[in-house]
Amino acid sequence: MDRQIVYPGQIPLETDLLNTNKFTMIALAKLAAAMFGTATIVNGLACVPTGPASLQVVVNPGEMYSLVAVDATAYSSLAADTTHNILKQGISLDAVNLTCNPPGTAGQSINYLIQATYQDSDTGLVTLPYYNASNPSQAWSGPGGGGAQQATARKGIVLISAKAGVAATTGSQTTPAPDAGYTGLWVVTVANGQTTITSANITQAANAPILPNDLLHAMQQSGAIVGVDTGAANAYAVSYNPAITALADGMVLWFKVKTANTGASTLNVNGLGASPVVGAAHSALQGGELVVGGRAQVVWRADISSWVLESCTGAALQVAPATQSQHAPQMGQVAGVVGSTRNLAMNVSSAGSSATLTADEIVVETALGGIRYCLANFNKTINIATTGAGGMDTGTAPVNGWVAVYAIYNPATTDRALLGVNATSVVAPEIYGGANMPAGYSASALVSVRRTNGSGQFAIGYQLDRTVETSVVSVLAGGAATTYTTVSLASAVPPNARYANFTYGMTTNSASNGVYLIATDTTNEVGLRRAISQVVTQILGGAWADVRLFTPQSVIYKNDAVGGTLGLNVVGYKF
């Protein structure tokens, strides 16, 4: 802040007082600009009906801050300064009455714009006493003794007026634009035949820069960042006071929701244009995230040109996929068991290194009991002649062995793929347990275990969910045993198989020669499957489905009577 200097014994000059006033004005203007910026701001100047109501409105006292020249004209003996602009304060101490007459044509209405501008006003005209410098004893009235009056105060005032629009059919009338240098504050609508103006006829002009309250209480009440939605479902529109003229990264706003959203939505702030509203996961809204009367908080993300919905009272909240045990999960992460699928299919109609797996949904996890992800519309191909995502985890595919296939997921990028593991001699875990998971992939689920041929290719087979149908594989030919005997199924089912499907052929040379196939408890004959011949030397055939494999890759069988033989073929399995 500049200060005028005077000295003891100095003869004071008028410029000493003038500069003191000017320096103080500039200091206050700079302080106001530090708080308000340099755009026009209004405090007060509320527009209300007269009491009793009439065809006039009252603009109450208030202040207007506008960027104007320091002095557009000379300030006494100080020259005009139009080079520098400061945020001057215009004051309206008294209420101003304005007349708004209705149109004379039936069925028409007219809009009046209540507008205001800052103005320097030199007032207090007085004939001041002077002395004659050539004869100091002689008093003059006015400069040079001519009796002229001079202004004694330069006031910063608010000049307020009502600008009439063009009358038109009610509902089609428009509000006039402010005159040059003026700012629109209020709109008063008057219809033909109207005799009084009520508060219902008065609305705030679009983007009027009126503070919602004094600065302290506006801060306490977040008045400048809280607005009311006037848009429609999924297309929200809010005007804030003072008007927001540009969006800034990190800007936080609140608004009261008028209509609930039903899907993807946009927000238009002070007419700057509709921008997407996304959830905390940066995905489009799905519906139910904004509710009628809810108070919504949004933050502007310039890098994605979107409003991020932080919260809305009473509404559902979108969250990013959880990646740690104490994170809030998405709905799809809390339902299902690892490896759960719907309509999974992996069909190999001719032997080859590649196969495609599809599913409506697959549930993958980071660990048993860990973070879940539900992958919808899964469609990926695996080539076991390669390694990495979409191939084997390491090494080459086994020959005449088994390959476990995992669905794998990268939460950070939402990438998904298939990964093969040699499962010829081990039971593959439900979640990938090796040391060669591709970088970034952290969730997985076992979705298939398939046989390979002598060339290390997928053998022919058809899979639906966890059931695999295969070509016929003979595991027992001409078998005959009077005690329970183990049959290896290693060539036909993987270590992961829980159930096997069989066809059988049996010959007998005595009546009632039965053959039993026992999957679990041989002592108590739990899981008994039985084929009985009623005719001597009969050839009998059939099928046993979903035979539980109590011991991996094996079943147990026995003949009731000597002389019969059994042939067993595996045609599929469940894992």
Spell out the SS3 assignment of 89-153.
EEEECCCEEEECCCCCCCCEEEEEEEEEEEEEEEECCECCEEEECCEEEEEEECHHHCCCCECCE
What is the CB neighbour count within 10 angstroms for residue 444? 27
For the chain, the straight-line distance linking the first and the last C-alpha, in angstroms and rounded, comes to 84
Dist CA 388 CA 436 (whole Å): 8
Token reading at 512: 């009632």
Report residue 10 CA to chain centroid gap.
70
For residues 251 and 247, give the distance between their C-alpha atoms in angstroms, rounded to a whole number.
Answer: 7
The pLDDT of residue 198 is 97
- Residue 549 per-residue DSSP state: -
Asked if residues 515 and 538 have their Cβ atoms less than 8 Å apart, the reply is no
Distance, in Å, from the CA atom of 339 to the CA atom of 465, rounded to the nearest integer, reads 10
- pLDDT tens string for the chain (575 positions)? 999 999 999 988 999 999 999 999 999 999 999 999 999 999 999 999 999 999 999 999 999 999 999 999 999 999 999 999 999 999 999 999 999 999 999 999 999 999 999 999 999 999 999 989 889 889 999 999 999 999 999 999 999 999 999 999 999 999 999 999 999 999 999 999 999 999 999 999 998 999 988 888 888 888 889 999 999 999 999 999 888 999 999 999 999 999 999 999 999 999 999 999 999 889 999 999 999 999 999 999 999 999 999 999 999 888 887 777 777 887 767 768 999 999 999 999 999 999 999 999 999 999 998 888 999 999 999 999 999 999 999 999 999 999 999 999 998 899 999 999 999 999 999 999 999 999 999 999 999 999 999 999 999 999 999 999 999 999 999 888 878 899 999 999 999 999 999 998 877 766 555 667 776 777 777 887 877 666 666 677 889 999 999 899 999 988 765 567 888 999 999 99
502 closest CA partner among 544, 565, 554: 544
